[in-house]
C-alpha cells in the first residue's frame, strides 16, 4: 500500500502506514521540489541531492539513515529512500518497488542475488561481493577473501543497520570473520566516523594470500589500502599480461604488485614495481616469493613522477609499462588538475616503452570520463614524441557491475596502447 498524501503542501514529512525497521513507527515522507527531475528517479537514478528535496523543519530533523517514502512534487510515490540531512546526497533510493524495508530478510534477498552473480563468475570466493548502488545496497562495499569479508558502510543508513547487514552476510555467504573498514572517503561526506571494527570472528594477524591471474597476492585486510586488495583490475591485469612474455616490465603505482606479479606469472623476463608506500612494496615482495617469481622481481620506493623521470635519465626501456595511479580527479573541482596529472604520467612513461612495446594507462577518477582521460593520455604520449595504437579499453571487472544510470559506478578506465 502506498502512503497517503499529506494535506499540508508545505510539510512533506507525512506519515505512511508501513512501519520502520523496528516495527514501531510509520515511515516519514519526503518530497521532491517541483523543478527536481522525478523522471530520472523513475528511470533508475539512485541519488537525490540536497537542492532537489524539500527540506523543511521536519525533514531536517530526520536522523541520518532514516528510511522514508519519496514522493514527487505532485505527491506521487517514487521509492523508499534512506535520508541523511547532513549529506549532499540527501536521499538514496533503497527500494524502488516499495514492498520492503531494510531488515534481515531484505538484506538476505539482496545478498543472495549479489552472491549468485559472483559464483557464476569465479570458481573461488575471492571477489567484490557488493558494489554499492549497482547491487541495490547504496554506499555499501563488500569484498570477500574466502571466509573473511571486509565491508565499507559508506552511507549513514548502512551504518545504522550494521548488525542486521552483518548477520545476513554471515548467513548468506558462510563467512566467519567480518571486518568493518571505515576508511572510505564517502564516510566523511556522510558525517560518519573512521573507526574500524571486527563485527564477527577475529581479524587475521597476517596478510591473506589471494590467487589471481596465476600469481599470489598478499592482502593486508586490517592495515592496507581500502579493503586490502584491488579486485577491480583483475581482467585488465590479465589482458596486459599477454604482452609480458620475454619482456622487462615496469609497474608504476603498483600497490601490492597488481600488474607486475601477473606479468611475471605470464613469462615476463623481469618486473620492477614502483610505489610510494614501503608496506605496499613489502607485500608485493611477499607476493612474488609466494608466486615463485622473486628472482625476477624488484621494487623501488619513491614518488612516481620522480622515479619515472629518473628511469628516463638512466636510459631504461621496458617492453611493457603500466601506470595505475590513485584518483587524480576524485571530484569535478579537481578535474582540470587531474587531467594535467594524467597527461604528465603519459608523457613521462611513454619514453620508457621500447619500440613496439605496450603502455597501459589507468584512471580511477570519477570526474574524468573515458573521453577526457583518453585525450589527456594521448596528449602526453604525443608530447613525448611517440605514436600510439589503441589496442584495448578496459573497465572494472564484472564483480564491479555498472549501474547505467549512475556514471560514478563506471569509475575505472584502462587504456592499452602499442607505441
* Average pLDDT score over residue span 30-59: 95
Q: Which of 16, 36, 304, 364 is catalytic?
A: 364
Residue 225 predicted with pLDDT over 80: no
279 φ/ψ sector (left φ>0, alpha ψ -120 to 50, else beta): alpha
Q: Are residues 272 and 402 in the same domain?
A: yes
Asked if the structure places residue 206 within a domain, the reply is no
Q: Are residues 293 and 348 in the same domain?
A: yes
Q: Are residues 194 and 248 in the same domain?
A: no
Asked if the structure places residue 207 within a domain, the reply is no
Query: pLDDT tens-digit profile of 171-208?
Result: 999 999 999 999 888 898 899 999 999 999 999 999 99
Cell of 121: 563468475
Cell of 57: 523543519
Q: Are residues 396 and 299 in the same domain?
A: yes
Asked if the structure places residue 208 within a domain, the reply is no
Q: Structure pTM?
A: 0.90
Question: For residue 190, what is the domain's CATH number?
Answer: 3.30.750.80
Residue 16 predicted with pLDDT over 90: no
Q: Are residues 383 and 243 in the same domain?
A: yes
Residue whose entry in the numeric block shows the C-alpha cell 594521448: 378
The proportion of the chain whose per-residue pLDDT surpasses 90, expressed as a percent, equals: 86
Question: For residue 386, what is the domain's CATH number?
Answer: 3.40.50.150
Task: Work out how many domains the chain is built from and give that number.
Answer: 3
262 and 215 in contact (C-beta within 8 Å)? yes
Among 200, 233, 262, residue at a domain's last position: 200
Q: Are residues 69 and 112 in the same domain?
A: no
91 and 81 in contact (C-beta within 8 Å)? yes
Residue 65 sits in which domain range? 1-99
The proportion of the chain whose per-residue pLDDT surpasses 70, expressed as a percent, equals: 93
Among 149, 165, 200, residue at a domain's last position: 200
Edge-to-edge strands, sheet with 89-95: 29-31, 66-71, 77-83, 89-95, 47-49
Query: pLDDT tens-digit profile of 399-408?
Result: 999 999 998 8
Q: How big is the chain by its Cα radius of gyration, in Å? A: 23
Q: Are residues 267 and 353 in the same domain?
A: yes
364 is catalytic: yes
Amino acid at each position: 500500500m502506498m502512503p497517503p498524501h499529506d494535506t499540508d503542501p508545505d510539510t512533506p514529512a507525512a506519515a505512511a502506514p508501513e512501519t520502520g525497521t523496528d516495527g514501531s513507527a510509520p515511515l516519514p515522507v519526503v518530497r521532491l521540489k517541483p523543478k527536481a527531475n522525478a523522471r530520472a528517479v523513475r528511470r533508475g537514478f539512485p541519488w537525490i541531492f540536497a537542492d532537489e528535496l524539500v527540506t523543511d523543519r521536519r525533514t531536517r530533523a530526520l536522523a541520518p539513515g532514516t528510511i522514508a517514502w519519496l514522493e514527487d512534487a505532485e505527491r506521487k510515490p517514487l521509492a523508499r529512500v534512506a535520508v541523511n540531512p547532513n549529506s549532499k546526497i540527501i536521499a538514496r533510493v533503497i527500494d524502488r518497488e516499495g514492498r520492503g524495508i531494510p531488515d534481515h530478510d531484505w538484506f538476505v534477498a539482496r545478498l543472495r542475488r549479489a552472491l549468485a552473480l559472483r559464483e557464476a563468475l569465479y570458481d573461488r570466493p575471492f571477489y567484490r561481493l557488493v558494489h554499492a548502488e549497482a547491487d541495490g545496497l547504496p554506499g555499501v562495499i563488500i569484498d570477500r577473501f574466502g571466509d573473511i569479508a571486509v565491508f565499507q558502510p559508506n552511507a549513514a543508513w548502512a551504518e545504522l543497520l550494521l548488525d542486521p547487514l552483518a548477520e545476513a552476510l554471515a548467513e548468506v555467504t558462510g563467512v566467519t570473520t567480518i571486518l568493518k573498514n571505515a576508511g572510505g572517503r564517502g564516510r566523511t561526506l556522510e558525517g560518519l566516523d573512521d573507526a574500524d571494527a571486527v563485527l564477527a570472528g577475529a581479524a587475521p594477524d597476517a596478510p591473506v594470500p589471494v590467487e589471481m591471474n596465476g600469481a599470489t597476492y598478499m592482502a593486508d585486510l586490517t592495515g592496507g589500502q581500502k579493503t586490502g586488495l584491488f579486485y577491480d583490475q583483475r581482467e585488465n591485469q590479465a589482458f596486459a599480461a599477454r604482452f609480458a612474455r620475454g619482456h622487462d616490465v615496469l609497474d608504476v603505482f603498483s600497490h601490492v604488485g597488481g600488474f607486475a606479479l601477473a606479468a611475471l606469472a605470464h613469462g615476463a623476463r623481469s618486473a620492477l614495481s614502483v610505489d610510494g608506500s614501503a608496506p605496499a612494496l613489502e607485500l608485493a615482495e611477499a607476493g612474488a616469493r609466494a608466486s615463485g617469481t622473486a628472482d625476477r622481481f624488484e621494487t623501488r620506493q619513491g614518488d612516481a613522477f620522480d622515479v619515472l623521470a629518473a628511469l628516463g635519465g638512466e636510459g631504461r626501456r621496458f617492453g611493457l609499462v603500466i601506470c595505475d595511479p590513485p584518483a587524480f580527479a576524485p571530484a569535478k573541482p579537481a578535474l582540470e588538475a587531474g587531467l594535467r596529472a594524467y597527461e604528465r604520467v603519459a608523457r613521462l612513461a611513454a619514453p620508457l616503452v621500447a619500440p613496439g612495446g605496450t603502455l597501459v594507462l589507468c584512471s580511477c577518477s570519477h570526474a574524468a570520463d573515458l573521453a577526457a582521460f583518453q585525450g589527456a593520455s594521448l596528449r602526453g604520449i604525443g608530447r613525448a614524441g611517440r605514436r600510439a595504437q589503441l589496442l584495448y579499453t578496459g573497465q572494472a571487472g564484472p564483480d564491479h557491475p555498472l549501474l547505467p544510470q549512475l556514471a560514478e559506478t563506471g569509475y575505472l578506465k584502462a587504456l592499452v596502447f602499442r607505441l
